[in-house]
Amino acid sequence: MLEYNIRSASIVGYVGAGGIGVWLHTYQEFYQWDKFAAVLACILAAVILLDLGGSRLRRSLAPTAP
């Protein structure tokens, strides 16, 4: 759920609630596409790393089949 919450927070921030989404909106508004892409890449990397980490953690905590 953590990676889902990060994606949701970015979208909510983009429409005006604050957070990292405000950076996306500001960079898009002033046509700073290089900075927009960098923030977007950071969000993508964070979501992917958290998803992989969560998957690995779930796999290590799951009971093994006989």
Q: What are the tens digits of pLDDT across the range 1-54?
A: 787 888 888 888 888 888 888 899 999 999 999 999 999 999 999 989 988 998
Domain locations in the chain as residue ranges: 2-57
Question: Per-residue pLDDT for 65 more than 80?
Answer: no
pLDDT score recorded for residue 17: 82
How far apart are the C-alpha atoms of 31 and 38, rounded to whole Å? Answer: 13
